[in-house]
Structure 1
Amino acid sequence: MGSFSYSFNGFTVKIPNGCFLTHTIKGSKRKITNQFAGVDCAGLAALPKFYNWRIDFAYADTNGKTYKTSRGKTHTTGDHNPLRHNAPQTLPKYGKACAKFYTNGKLRATQCHYITG
């Protein structure tokens, strides 16, 4: 994720280069036993907090058509390392599972895994 700025409650938050969206999935075939996504930052990028953020999980079939989105809660308090865990589930279709990171409603990063048999 590149550097970016956004406004929150009248002040500007600047996020420098050095932050990455990470997405981990564990399971077998279409069964997901554990899924996490979060933002990890290194160096000076670890200093600012993220406000008004959320992480969504989106699932698409093998044609790329999204059939389900699990929208995360919007967090208004400042967090250095945004993190979201999703409940275990069995997907109805093969395709891909993606984590999407938003601040102030704007998509900042996406990271996907292909789910194949």
Structure 2
Amino acid sequence: MGVATVVRKALTVASVLALGAAGSLVSSGPAYAGATGTAVIGSFSYDLHGAGVKVPVGCFLTHSIEGSGKRISSELAGVDCFGLAVTFSKFCNWRIDFGYADTENRIYKTSRGVTHTECKGDPLRRAGARTLPHYGKACARFYVNGRLRATQCHFITK
């Protein structure tokens, strides 16, 4: 089993546990040693070369961060779908950005992901280690066809 498969399965399990434990569809938490949060990607439609594409309910953006204080050792975000959405969801022209804001909610850095022109049911992006200059929050933002579809954030505190 490859590393990507293990990571994807861990994200799926974390998504289900986060949803069940939190009792809500959006969660976030401090990144003392690590945190995983999930945000709903609502149903939407978009145009792809003249053809309508509909994404049904049942997909989630999961964002995981590891580290301590302002030091992030790893960060990843991906999309997982459940139920019928697994079969019918393909995301074309997608990208995942990582953004960082200070405690006043001022965005000071955005790590823009590559726009992937292929259609994929399970987008995933990883970021390497970094040290943030400020406490605040770290967010993953999922875009499809140039439009923001979901955001999930973690607070970075002392």
Q: Same fold by TM-score, threshold 0.5 exceeded?
A: yes
Work out whether 1:10 is the aligned partner of 2:50: yes
1:21 corresponds in structure 2 to: 61
Q: How many Å separate the matches in 2 of 1:51 and 1:9?
A: 11
Higher relative contact order (CA 8 A, sep 6+): 1
Q: CA deviation at 1:2?
A: 1.1
Asked if residue 88 in structure 1 is aligned to residue 129 in structure 2, the reply is yes
TM-score, normalisation: structure 2:
0.73
1:116 and 1:87 mapped to 2: Cα distance? 20
Which of 18, 22, 35 is the matching residue for 2:75?
A: 35
Q: Please state if 1:56 is matched with 2:67.
A: no
Output the CA distance in 1 between the equivalents of 2:102 and 2:86.
35
Shift of 1:78: 1.1
How many residues are matched?
117
Structure 1: state its 5+ residue gaps: none
Instruction: Indicate which of 137, 148, 152 corresponds to 1:107.
Output: 148
Q: Which residue of 1 aligns with 2:16?
A: none
Amino acid at match of 1:35: E
Q: Secondary structure at the match of 1:74?
A: coil
Any idea what SS the aligned residue of 1:102 has? strand
Give the unaligned 5+ runs of structure 2: 1-40
Q: Given residue 111 of structure 1, which amino acid in structure 2 is its aligned partner?
A: Q
Q: Which moved more, 1:42-51 or 1:53-62?
A: 42-51
| Bigger helix share | 2
In angstroms, what is the RMSD of aligned CA positions? 0.7
| Greater share of strand | 1
In structure 2, C-alpha distance between the alignment counterparts of 1:69 and 1:24, rounded to whole Å: 17
TM-score, structure 1 as length reference: 0.97
